[in-house]
Amino acid sequence: MPTASRPKPEQRRDHRGEELEQQTERLRAVVGQVSRRLRGTQAGAGLTPSQISVLFTVVRAGEIRLSAVAEKEGMNPTMVSRIAATLSDAGLIERDIDSLDRRTAFLRPTAAGRRLRERIHRERAEALARHVRELRPAELKALWRALPVLEHLAESLGGRAL
């Protein structure tokens, strides 16, 4: 009686590699979708996603070199400089040139910038909470159990260039 042949180890690895690739793509897509859908808050209206991201980085840091923002955001320093000029004109950050090295700029949030970040965070959290409340108990439990893994993943992606 013929028996079913077992897949060779390299075939199993290929299958697992394909599955990992497919699941990774699903994860990337869903994280992007959630992120895009949470962007549409009233508080952030008028700012681009890049401007909001730079503002959040500056507020978190308190004071930070423009070059460090570019590195954290994975953006070209020239682009960050333009964004910083726009945020400064809007009164959301302050931009100071280093007196010892005129090529270096420091960014600091203003009170208005900190308040805007808080409003955007609050609106996004409230929008997300409305939908999380609609999840079934089992879905909610699975979501909470996945949080530490997602936090670890986010941390490991950190400031790395992709």
Q: What mean pLDDT is reported for the chain?
A: 87
pLDDT mean over 81-89: 96
CATH architecture, range 49-114:
Orthogonal Bundle (1.10)
What integer pLDDT is reported at residue 34 of this predicted model?
A: 87
pLDDT over 80 at 42, yes or no: no
pLDDT over 60 at 3, yes or no: no
pLDDT mean over 91-119: 90
Burial of 66 (0-12, 13-18, 19+ CB in 10 A): buried
Q: What is the DSSP string of 65-132?
A: EHHHHHHHHT--HHHHHHHHHHHHHTTSEEEEE-SS-TT-EEEEE-HHHHHHHHHHHHHHHHHHHHHH
Helix (H) or strand (E) holding 36: helix 9-39
What's the whole-model pTM score? 0.74
